[in-house]
Chains A and B, each alone.
Chain A
Amino acid sequence: MNTIEADGLTKVYEGIAVVDDLNLRVSGEIYGLLGPNGSGKTTTVNMLTTLVHPTSGTASVCGYDVMRESAAVRRSMSYVPQDMAVDIRLTGWENVELFAKLYGIKDKAERRERIEYVLDIMNLTERAGDMTKKYSGGMRRRLELAQALVHQPNVLFLDEPTVGLDVTSRRSIWEYITKLRGTGMTIFVTTHQMDEAERYCDRVGIIKKGVLLNEGTPAELTSDLDDVIIIRTDSDLPRSLPDGVIPVKSEDGETVFSAKDGSGSLDPLLDAYRADGGKVFSSSVRGPTLEDVYMQAIGPGEEAPFDEDRFRNMMRRR
C-alpha cells in the first residue's frame, strides 16, 4: 500500500475538468507537484486532504478513502495551505496549542510535551511566548509546520511552502522538510519554484490544465534533455551549424541552442560564428535543469485568470 494513492481522480467545476484523470502513487518521499497557477495543484491537494469532493475517481491517504473515511484521513495527515494563516494575536505557543487540541491531544502533560517538542524542532522555543504578530514570514511558516507536526502525522501536505519568503527562509524551510522525510514521513508539496523542486524533491510530477504530463525523479526527467548552450551576440545565426546543435530561441541578443554534448559542441559553434565574421560577447554551457523540462512540458506561458480576492488578502496582510 502506498501512503498516497489516486486513481482516475477528477474534479469538474462548471463543465471544466480542473483535475483530469489523475493517477498517483506516493510513499515515504518528498513528492513535488509542479505546474503553473490554475493548473489544478491546489485542487488536487484539496481532494487528497478531504476539503474538496472528487467528481469521479478514488483516492486514499494512509489506506483510508478520502470520501468514505475522511475523518481517518484527517487524523493521519496535516495540511499547510498556501495562505499564511497564523493567529497574530496569539503567541506561538498558543497557536500550536490550538492545533494540539483540534487533533484531540487532551492530556495536558502530553500536550505540553508535544508542543515543546515541535517548537524545538522548528527552532521557535525562544520566541514561543511572543505574539506571532512580531514573527517574520519565515518564522510564521515554521510555526505552521510546528502546528502541522504536533500530532505526529504520517503525511504532510504543503501548498507552496516557500511562497513569499526570502532566500534564507526558503532554504531553512526545505531543510526542515528534508529532515522530516528522514523520519519516514511522506511529504507532498506543490510549488512553482523549479530550482527548489529539483534540489529537494525525490520525485516530481508536472501538471498542466489538470493533466499529469510528466513524472519521475528530477534526474530522470532531465536526462532525456540535451545540454543548453547560450551565446550572447549581435550577429545573426551562422549559415552552417555544427552537427547536433539546434537553435531553440533567440531574444534580447541571447541565442539558446541545445546539443547532446554541450561542451564538445561549443568550440565548433563559436568557430561557425567567427567564420561568418560574427562577434560573440560571451558564451556558456550548462546541463539541462528541471526548469527546462518544465518549460518544454508546459509550453509558452499562459496566464491564469487573476484572482482578485486572493490579491486583496495578500495586500491586506503585508
Chain B
Amino acid sequence: MYGVLAYAQRDLTRWLRSPMNVISTLVMPAAWLIFMGVVLPGTDKGYLDFITPGVLVMTMLNAGLFGGSSLMFDKVLGYLNKFLAAPTPRESILAGKIIFITVRGLLQALVIQIIAILVGATVLSFWAYLATFAILALFGVFVASFGTTIALYLGNHDSYAAAQSFLSMPLYLASTAMLRYDQMPAALYYIAKANPLSYAIDAARTASAGTFPVPEVLVLILISVIMALLCTRMFRRATIS
C-alpha cells in the first residue's frame, strides 16, 4: 500500500503543478453543462437537474480516458523501467495510477458539481452527494482501467488519442445522459442499455433523487472489477517479456 500511495502522490503532485492540464479537462463538461443546461432549454430548471448527473459522469469519462495514456507515457519515457526495477510490488504501479486517475476525476467532478449549483441546479442532501460521488468513484475505476488497458495495448500516443476521441463522444451520446429511455428510438435504447455510462448516470440520478440504486451499483462494481482484472493482465503483458 505504501508504494501505491507513493505512486499516486507522484502523479497528483505533477498534475497539480501543470495548470493547463488542471483546467483543460474541465472546460468540456463545464461548457456542456452551461450550454445544454442553462442556455438551450431557456428557464427550465428541471432539465439542468436532469443533465447534471450525466455531465458529472462525462467528467469522469473524460478524466479516465485522458488519464489512460498516463501509464503508457511512463513506459515510453522510461519511468516505468525504473519503477519495475524497484522492490515495491509491481502491481502497485498500476493501482497507484488508477487511484490517481480516479481521484483526479473526482476532484474535477466536484468542481463541475459546484458550477452546476452556481448556475441553478437544485441543492441536494449531503447523503445524496456522498452516494453520487461513490458511484462516480466506482465508474472512475472502470474508465481508468479501460483507458489504461487500451493505451497499453496500442502502445503509442497517436493511436490512443485517436481511440480516445473515437470513444468519448459516442459513448456519451449513446447513453441516458441527454435522454430518458422512453424518449429514445429503439436502436438507441438497446445501445444505451448496454452502455456502462448509462448505469453510472442512472445510478447517479437515482441517488440524487434520494434512494440508493442497488442494482446499478452492483453492475458497476462487477464491471469495474472485471475491467481492473483485464487491465492487470494487460499491465503484466506490457511490462515483462
Q: Please list the residues of chain A having a beta carbon within 8 angstroms of any beta carbon in chain B.
A: 13, 46, 49-53, 71, 74-75, 77-85, 87, 89-90, 94, 98-99, 101-104, 106, 131, 147, 309, 313, 317
Interface string of B156-182 (1 = CB under 8 A from A): 100000000000000000000000000
Contact, CB under 8 Å: A78 / B6: no
Residue in chain A with minimal CB distance to B15: A89
Contact, CB under 8 Å: A89 / B14: yes
Contact, CB under 8 Å: B78 / A104: no
Chain B nearest CB, measured from A106 CB (Å): 6
* Alpha-carbon gap, A228 to B191, bound state (A): 77
At the interface, yes or no: B79 with Cβ under 8 Å from chain A? yes
Residue in chain A with minimal CB distance to B85: A79
Partner of B87, one of A52, A74, A89: A74
Please judge, given known A-B contacts A81-B82, A89-B18, A309-B156, whether A106 and B2 are in contact too, CB under 8 Å: yes
Q: Which of B2-29 contact A (CB under 8 A)?
A: 2-3, 6, 10, 13-14, 17-18
Contact, CB under 8 Å: B240 / A102: no
Residue in chain B with minimal CB distance to A80: B82
Q: Please list the residues of chain B having a beta carbon within 8 angstroms of any beta carbon in chain A.
A: 2-3, 6, 10, 13-14, 17-18, 76-79, 81-89, 156, 239-241
| 24 A-B residue pairings within 8 Å (CB atoms) | A49-B85, A50-B84, A51-B81, A53-B241, A74-B86, A74-B87, A80-B82, A81-B78, A81-B82, A82-B78, A84-B78, A85-B82, A89-B14, A90-B10, A94-B13, A98-B10, A101-B2, A102-B86, A103-B88, A104-B2, A106-B2, A131-B17, A309-B156, A317-B77
Interfacial chain B residues near A90, Cβ < 8 Å: 10, 13-14
Chain A nearest CB, measured from B36 CB (Å): 34
Interfacial chain A residues near B78, Cβ < 8 Å: 81-85, 313
Interfacial chain B residues near A51, Cβ < 8 Å: 81, 84-85, 239-240
Task: Given A79-B85, A90-B14, output 12 extra A-B contacts at Cβ < 8 Å.
Answer: A52-B241, A71-B87, A81-B78, A81-B81, A82-B78, A83-B78, A85-B79, A85-B81, A89-B13, A89-B17, A102-B3, A103-B88
* Alpha-carbon gap, A50 to B88, bound state (A): 13
Chain A nearest CB, measured from B108 CB (Å): 19
* Alpha-carbon gap, A87 to B70, bound state (A): 13
Please judge, given known A-B contacts A81-B78, A85-B77, A309-B76, whether A101 and B85 are in contact too, CB under 8 Å: no
Chain A nearest CB, measured from B239 CB (Å): 8
Contact, CB under 8 Å: A53 / B14: no
Interfacial chain A residues near B84, Cβ < 8 Å: 50-51
Contact, CB under 8 Å: B85 / A74: yes
Contact, CB under 8 Å: B241 / A87: no
Interfacial chain A residues near B239, Cβ < 8 Å: 51
Residue in chain B with minimal CB distance to A85: B78
Please judge, given known A-B contacts A81-B78, A82-B78, A313-B76, whether A50 and B14 are in contact too, CB under 8 Å: no
Chain B nearest CB, measured from A63 CB (Å): 16
Interfacial chain A residues near B88, Cβ < 8 Å: 102-104
Interfacial chain A residues near B13, Cβ < 8 Å: 89-90, 94
Interfacial chain A residues near B79, Cβ < 8 Å: 85, 87
Residue in chain B with minimal CB distance to A75: B87
Chain A nearest CB, measured from B215 CB (Å): 41
Contact, CB under 8 Å: A313 / B77: yes
* Alpha-carbon gap, A78 to B83, bound state (A): 10
* Alpha-carbon gap, A53 to B79, bound state (A): 19
Interfacial chain A residues near B81, Cβ < 8 Å: 46, 51, 79, 81, 83, 85
Chain B nearest CB, measured from A314 CB (Å): 10
Interfacial chain B residues near A80, Cβ < 8 Å: 82
* Alpha-carbon gap, A77 to B13, bound state (A): 27
* Alpha-carbon gap, A52 to B156, bound state (A): 21
Interfacial chain A residues near B18, Cβ < 8 Å: 89
Residue in chain B with minimal CB distance to A72: B87
| Most chain A C-beta atoms within 10 Å of own C-beta, residue among B17, B78, B83 | B78
Chain B nearest CB, measured from A6 CB (Å): 17
* Alpha-carbon gap, A306 to B85, bound state (A): 26
Chain B nearest CB, measured from A193 CB (Å): 20
Residue in chain A with minimal CB distance to B5: A101
Please judge, given known A-B contacts A52-B240, A309-B156, whether A103 and B87 are in contact too, CB under 8 Å: yes
Chain B nearest CB, measured from A178 CB (Å): 23
For the complex of A and B, list the 3 residue pairs with the smallest distance between their C-beta atoms, beginning with the closest: A83-B78, A85-B78, A79-B85
Interfacial chain B residues near A46, Cβ < 8 Å: 81
Chain B nearest CB, measured from A219 CB (Å): 33
Interfacial chain A residues near B77, Cβ < 8 Å: 83, 85, 313, 317
Chain A nearest CB, measured from B124 CB (Å): 36
* Alpha-carbon gap, A80 to B82, bound state (A): 7
